[in-house]
Amino acid sequence: MQVLLINGSPNAKKCTYTALREVEKTLIEQEIETEIIQVGDKDIRGCTGCRECKNTGKCVFDDFVNEVAPKFKQAAGVVIGTPVYFASVNGTLVSFLDRLFYSITEDKSMKVGAAVVSARRGGCSATFDELNKYFTISGMPVVSSQYWNSVHGYTPEDVRKDEEGLQTMRTLGRNMAFLMKSISLGQEKFGLPAKENHVSTNFIQ
């Protein structure tokens, strides 16, 4: 089993990374393979809604999104971390996630997802909610912890002093490992839930 940890901060080794590393260390202790992917400092444009990915199975803009997509498809879980900008997700990460989730046509059901946010002071809850929507629209179980998955601080040193935040990250890692293993065992015994043919309606109909 492998978990991708996506760092949406433009600062590769700062506060968001510190939180993700705490999750990663716990996952490794639970014998889960991990990889941290740095996204926030990449030049990534937004989705144009061209829908070409529905024909080709990949985004028409052949950049870092298409590099990460095969890893995302193979991973059993993903942790998405972001700093808080104006009570929201970093714009580069939004562009990355919009295109990644939209262009991958394979079923994401039962792939486990978790959001991690980092702020100096406020905006964590709104940002946390925003990230979780990528999982819930994709049939992905969302991993919880003992509190909302956030850390506070202006520097990595500050984050390392946030004892409750770091404990929340460790609890998240243990819960994620347990959920992934439980889903794997359940799939072996019971299979995945049955799916209906997708129905798409517009609000005017």
Which CATH number fits the domain that encloses residue 70? 3.40.50.360
30 belongs to a structural domain: yes
pLDDT at 204 over 80: no
Q: What is the mean pLDDT of the chain?
A: 96
Q: Has residue 46 got a pLDDT over 80?
A: yes
Domain-embedded: residue 90? yes
- Is 86 part of a structural domain of the chain? yes
176 in a structural domain:
yes
- Whole-number pLDDT of residue 203: 78
Nearest to 65 by CA among 99, 107, 35, 115: 99
Look at residue 142 and tell me whether its pLDDT is greater than 70: yes
Region 63-82: mean pLDDT is 98
Q: How many CA atoms lie within 13 A of 80 on its CB side?
A: 27
Residue 133 above 90 pLDDT? yes
Q: What is the pTM of this model?
A: 0.95
Domain that holds residue 185: 2-190
Rounded to 5 degrees, what angle do the CA atoms 49, 51, 55 make? 165
Domain count, the chain: 1
